[in-house]
């Protein structure tokens, strides 16, 4: 049995802990938010304040600076769609919340016209639904057989990087701006140009092979002046055999030619 002396000592300790951990010099009274650009600071503060309410076993308050539940607060804030990561620390009577936001690099849309679209960051992670109407400022991806969802990864890193690099080179070197990329389940991709026309590529081929074949065609005398909108598609899926489907500006017929790249 616990003696009366022990009970008195435990009671004294509990009382001391109760009042000692509520001294103003140890009590968190300010939440400082850093790193937010598009996320309302109020959303971050309200989640933080909610988790600072209450006490451990009804004795030590969560606002007691040495025992602030920093990990729980960080997890709660990271549940916000636009938050990529959050770190929480204490500085005297301040709780400091530092946030890294997702930055939209592209948009991932479902294959059906009624499917939602999600913003995707540079790591290929979908994180938030886009508004119903989104302009063409961000390149769109459609992946047949896979629907976008929060925290889902857009393709594998290698495939996604390959397609983004193709789009980047097309714009930098030829002024061909890519508006949408459709990825087929067999690994082929259709690259839609905002000015009109499509490029058909196989993601099983590396960037150098695909681009070298395209560059050889565009530098040839036959296609030296070929511009987006002046062709229906350029098919780069079959190695050094490149198929060009040209659209004639007046007639309704089209001309299809095959160029073999040496």
Contact 130, 138 (CB under 8 A): no
Q: What is the pLDDT of residue 9?
A: 54
More confident residue, 178 or 10: 178
> In the chain, where are the structural domains located?
24-101, 106-260
- pLDDT tens digits, 6-42: 555 555 554 544 544 554 566 788 899 998 888 888 8
In percent, how much of the chain has pLDDT > 70?
A: 82
Listing from the earlier edge strand, what are the strands of the sheet with 231-238?
Answer: 126-129, 117-120, 106-109, 140-143, 178-183, 188-193, 198-202, 231-238, 241-247, 254-260
83-112 pLDDT tens trace: 989 999 988 889 999 999 888 899 999 887
CATH number of 106-260: 3.40.50
In terms of pTM, does the model score above 0.75?
no
Whole-angstrom distance, CA of residue 125 vs CA of residue 69: 28
Looking at domain 24-101, its CATH class is: alpha beta
Q: Is the dihedral of CA 213, 216, 218, 220 positive or negative?
A: negative
């Amino acid at each position: 049995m616990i003696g009366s002396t022990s009970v008195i000592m435990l009671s004294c300790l509990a009382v001391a802990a109760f009042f000692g951990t509520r001294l103003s010099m140890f009590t968190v009274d300010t939440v400082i938010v850093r790193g937010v650009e598009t996320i309302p600071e109020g959303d971050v503060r309200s989640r933080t304040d909610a988790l600072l309410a209450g006490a451990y076993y009804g004795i030590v308050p969560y606002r007691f600076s040495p025992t602030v539940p920093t990990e729980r607060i960080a997890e709660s804030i990271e549940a916000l769609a636009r938050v990529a990561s959050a770190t929480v620390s204490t500085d005297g009577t301040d709780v400091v919340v530092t946030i890294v936001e997702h930055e939209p690099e592209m948009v991932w849309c479902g294959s059906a016209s009624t499917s939602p679209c999600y913003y995707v960051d540079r790591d290929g992670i979908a994180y938030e639904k886009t508004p119903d109407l989104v302009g063409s400022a961000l390149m769109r991806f459609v992946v047949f057989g896979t629907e976008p969802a929060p925290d889902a990864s857009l393709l594998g890193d290698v495939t996604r990087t390959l397609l983004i690099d193709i789009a980047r080179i097309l714009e930098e070197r030829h002024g061909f701006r890519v508006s949408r990329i459709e990825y087929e389940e067999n690994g082929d991709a259709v690259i839609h140009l905002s000015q009109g026309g499509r490029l058909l590529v196989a993601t099983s081929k590396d960037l150098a092979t695909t681009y070298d074949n395209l560059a050889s065609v565009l530098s040839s005398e036959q296609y030296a002046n070929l511009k987006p909108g002046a062709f229906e598609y350029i098919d780069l899926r079959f190695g050094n055999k490149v198929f060009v489907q040209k659209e004639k500006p007046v007639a309704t017929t089209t001309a299809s030619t095959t160029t073999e790249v040496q």
